[in-house]
Amino acid sequence: MNIGRALVPLAAAGLVALSACSTAGAGGEDGRLKVTASFYPMQFLAEQIGGGHVDVTELTKPGTEPHDLELTPRQTGELGESDVVVYLKGLQPAVDDAIAQSGVENTVDAAALTPLEDHGTEVDGHDHGSGDDHSGHGDEDAGADPHIWLDPVRYAEVAEGVGKALAKADPAHEAAYEKNTAALVRKLDTLDTDFQDGLKNRSSDTFITTHAAFGYLAERYGLVEQAISGIDPESEPSAARMRTLHTLAEDKGVSTVFFETLASDRTARTLAGDLGLKTAVLDPIEGITDKSAGRDYFEVQHSNLQALRAALGAK
């Protein structure tokens, strides 16, 4: 475009303003959308749906327990520069606080995209919620269970919401986001079918885990989760809870006590040792490390399925 000499200063100022608007709506200098994800399940969605059009930063580093995350000033500052933030409100208070103060226009709360439930610890078919002596966890575990990503159906609902949010923030690539969302939802539908088929012919419904992360998955496939601790993996079970688990394991024919990669396995191994039970990993997929039984969400979920099949006597 030929511009007269007198118009050069005005044109330059206009280009600066346009550049600022473009950066705010479509990421940094490379044109990619700057997305901040609170922890791995949100990061996975953003990367799968965003593809090459997004630059994703995860706040919870691999190997860190997401529930206990504390943000550095640098992370808080970077969050405020994001085009989109994808998180799960209630899981990480430090993230919730930082988002509330950030002023970021496009925030995606996974907890608002699918219904959350309060999964107390069930004993003999009765729900003993937080505060009950049978539950083994205290008031810090009260409220809704955040582990929606472990249910492929609910995770697909969250994926659809994330896809819409990315398209809103970056309409130039809306078609790509829609295509990627649809592909991811199809894979999650297949995973749901794999769980349904893989757990059909089982001899038991009850399994014991380190902490209450698998309530949605258990509900989806007709299982009963018995957690040593509550929603918080670091909470200590009461003596009453441990006695209940001893009785329950014998009555329900439990064969395996599950532990996980990011939380201590000490209590799970002690319980298994006392009862002569096997131990195995059931991964809540809160982060992927070199100890994970897979490189991504789908690989670890299939590993979880095989672990449950073995523990529940599925044929």
Task: Give the per-residue SS3 of the chain.
Answer: CCCCHHHHHHHHHHHHHHHHHHHHHHCCCCCCEEEEECCHHHHHHHHHHHHHHEEEEECCCCCCCHHHCCCCHHHHHHHHCCCEEEECCCCCHHHHHHHHHHCCCEEEEHHHCCCCCCCCEEECCEEECCCCCCCCCCHHHCCCCCCHHHCHHHHHHHHHHHHHHHHHHCHHHHHHHHHHHHHHHHHHHHHHHHHHHHCCCCCCCEEEECCCCCHHHHHHCCCEEEECCCCCCCCCCCHHHHHHHHHHHHHCCCCEEEECCCCCCHHHHHHHHHHCCEEEECCCCCCCCCCCCCCCHHHHHHHHHHHHHHHHCCC
pLDDT band at 211; cut points 50, 70, 90:
confident
How confident is the model over 21-63, as pLDDT tens digits? 333 445 556 889 999 999 999 999 999 999 999 999 999 998 8
Cα–Cα–Cα angle for 179, 182, 183, nearest 5°? Answer: 85
Q: Across residues 130-148, what is the average pLDDT?
A: 51
**pLDDT at residue 150 greater than cutoff 90:** yes
Separation CA 104–CA 210 (nearest Å):
36
pLDDT band at 136; cut points 50, 70, 90:
very low
Could you tell me what percent of the chain has a pLDDT over 90? 61
Q: pLDDT value at position 12? A: 35
**pLDDT at residue 4 greater than cutoff 50:** no
Separation CA 214–CA 282 (nearest Å):
9
Q: Which residue has the higher pLDDT, 118 or 79?
A: 79
Q: Across residues 62-71, what is the average pLDDT?
A: 88
pLDDT band at 241; cut points 50, 70, 90:
confident
Read off the tokens for 44. 């996975």
Q: Is 0.75 topped by the overall pTM? A: yes
Averaged pLDDT of the chain: 83
Q: pLDDT value at position 6? A: 39
Q: pLDDT value at position 228? A: 86
Separation CA 64–CA 181 (nearest Å):
28
Q: pLDDT value at position 220? A: 97
Q: pLDDT value at position 202? A: 95
How confident is the model over 160-178, as pLDDT tens digits? 999 999 999 999 999 999 9
Nearest to 281 by CA among 312, 311, 249, 314: 311
Q: pLDDT value at position 80? A: 95
Nearest to 23 by CA among 11, 15, 36, 33: 33
**pLDDT at residue 231 greater than cutoff 80:** no
Q: Across residues 130-159, what is the average pLDDT?
A: 68
Q: pLDDT value at position 76? A: 94
Q: pLDDT value at position 258? A: 92
pLDDT band at 13; cut points 50, 70, 90:
very low
Q: pLDDT value at position 123? A: 37
